[in-house]
Amino acid sequence: MKVLLMEHPRSFSQERDNDIANAPLSACLNTGYIGGVLKNYEIPVEIVDGYLDHLTYSQIEDVIAQFMPTILGLHLVYHWEDNQTLYAFLTGIKEKYQIPYLCVYGFYPTFAYTEILKACPAIDSCLLGESEMTFLNLARSFPDFSQAGMAYRNGNDIKTQPGQIIEDLDTLPFPLRHPASYSFGQINLTGSRGCYGNCSFCYINSFYGNPQTKWRGRSPQNIIDEIDMLIDTTDIRYFYFTDPNFIGPGQSGKKRTLQLTKLLKERQIQFGIEARVNDLDDEVVKALVDAGLKHILIGLESGRNESLKRLQKHTTVVENEAAIALLRKHGIEPSIGFIMFEPDSSLADLKENFAFLKRNHLLDQLETSVNVLYHHMIILQGSQSYQLLNAEGRLRISEHSTYEADTDYLNPQVKEFAAIMRELTNFIFLFLKDTWEEHAAGDQNIMQQYQAINDVLTNTFERLLINLSTASSYDTLQIEESAKKAIKMIINN
């Protein structure tokens, strides 16, 4: 028995440059945790990372030919298009090297297993949700293929069985890390799984499949043991917690966080996290910063309470603004999650969103403005939004996959507004694709250029808002073309 775990190459479309991730960041450790569990049970396992190592399919085939796995496991990530190239590769190598079993795992297979199994007969099963124990049971009972926690063909039907949730995350061995995972200056860590929230656009908790197990945290000591091991074996001292909800619920979440920060502070490292605004208070933020916090992503999503209610954030505009002010008080400029355009948005929503962003100084830097001034609500299978819009007959499923869908905006002016801002922000990403790092490094000419483009972008948004709100006869497309011309002039000068 030998297991090869694979991260496949992923393509990127210029049209999707400004779209949010199609899988949560926590998914990046799916392969590592499966590998760690298999290794812990002395099952020979290796990882081939076609994504981080920038491998071609031919180079991946060389690894497969040398390793000759009994089971090939693939972390299947949806990347905004159909997977025909990948499926053809899997079909070819399975037959050529007589690989006995091929399974896929991750967020995409968990929700779209029917289309995957129909599209690629070479795939024997889709592992559902948390897959460490499912994969282990498969490897240990091989060739018995009928395991809990997977979807597989049963004659002309597809059979599914729920898998095993790991209640105590401390029982998991540390993830097996491929050398490529150390190649970008930080090490990703998982401190917890799930979220106690139920935002309408999110599918984190649906992935785990157990409504009673929304948030589970590793103990502070278990996390520190992993960090100490990594400190002993690498020279990297920046860690990023991929948890969608780092702090966790209520007083118990706060207590655990304060215990962890004491241990982190002793290591003299730096780290980043993602958190809900309602979990931040002065004591927690001060402790995090003292322990080495350098980056935090907070999902504000909207600057209007009516929108926050529709999105089921269970937070308020007051809490959003308090969190921004609190983080800045302690020297942290937060990264922002924001959904400017949602299916039920009105011009009043956009107006309040824009005012919120301006008064909280979230439109001062281009790298923030270009994100928050356009982001529509991406509708992915497994989210409440997907289910509700489908029930209302408003869901329009992608031609590539049932996993992704969109819907028409109820307000035709918002639809026009969103289309223009999508086009304009993608235009900016395309023209500046070679200068983002120079800007981050502080190149003065590039910084001035970015500030000028930021002014054009924010002014254009405001002009469009006024134009559409007053039903002006001035053509909105003229506003868009005027902005593009101004941006070209800035870049060319």
For residues 464-479, average pLDDT:
80
Q: E strands of 326-376, at which residues?
A: 335-338
Q: How far apart are CA 385 and CA 39, in angstroms?
A: 39
Q: Are 420 and 464 in contact (CB under 8 A)?
A: yes
Model confidence at 432, pLDDT cuts 50, 70, 90, reads confident
Model confidence at 46, pLDDT cuts 50, 70, 90, reads very high
Closest C-alpha to 185, from 295, 63, 31, 36: 295
Model confidence at 414, pLDDT cuts 50, 70, 90, reads very high
Q: Which two tokens stand for residue 171?
A: 């029982």
| Secondary-structure breakdown of the chain: helix, strand, coil percentages, each rounded to the nearest 5 | 50, 15, 35
**pLDDT at residue 242, as a whole number:** 96
pTM of the full predicted structure?
0.94
Where does CATH 3.40.50.280 sit in the chain? 3-160
Where does CATH 3.20.20.70 sit in the chain? 185-338
- Residue 473 pLDDT greater than 60, yes or no: no
Q: How far apart are CA 284 and CA 174, in angstroms?
A: 27
- Residue 53 pLDDT greater than 70, yes or no: yes
Name which residue leads in pLDDT, 264 or 473: 264
Q: How far apart are CA 453 and CA 445, in angstroms?
A: 12
**3-160 domain in CATH 3.40.50.280?**
yes
Name which residue leads in pLDDT, 474 or 431: 431
- Residue 264 pLDDT greater than 90, yes or no: yes
pLDDT in tens, 284-339: 999 999 999 999 999 999 999 999 999 999 999 999 999 999 999 999 999 999 99
For residues 410-435, average pLDDT:
91
Model confidence at 10, pLDDT cuts 50, 70, 90, reads confident
Fold observed for domain 185-338: TIM Barrel (3.20.20)
pLDDT in tens, 327-385: 999 999 999 999 999 999 999 999 999 999 999 999 999 999 999 999 999 999 999 99
Model confidence at 47, pLDDT cuts 50, 70, 90, reads very high
Q: Are 429 and 369 in contact (CB under 8 A)?
A: no
Model confidence at 442, pLDDT cuts 50, 70, 90, reads confident
∠ CA 98-101-103, rounded to 5°: 135
pLDDT in tens, 296-308: 999 999 999 999 9
Three-class secondary structure of residue 194 per DSSP: strand
- Residue 261 pLDDT greater than 70, yes or no: yes
Share of the chain above pLDDT 70, in %: 97
Across the chain, mean pLDDT equals: 93
**pLDDT at residue 408, as a whole number:** 93
Model confidence at 210, pLDDT cuts 50, 70, 90, reads low
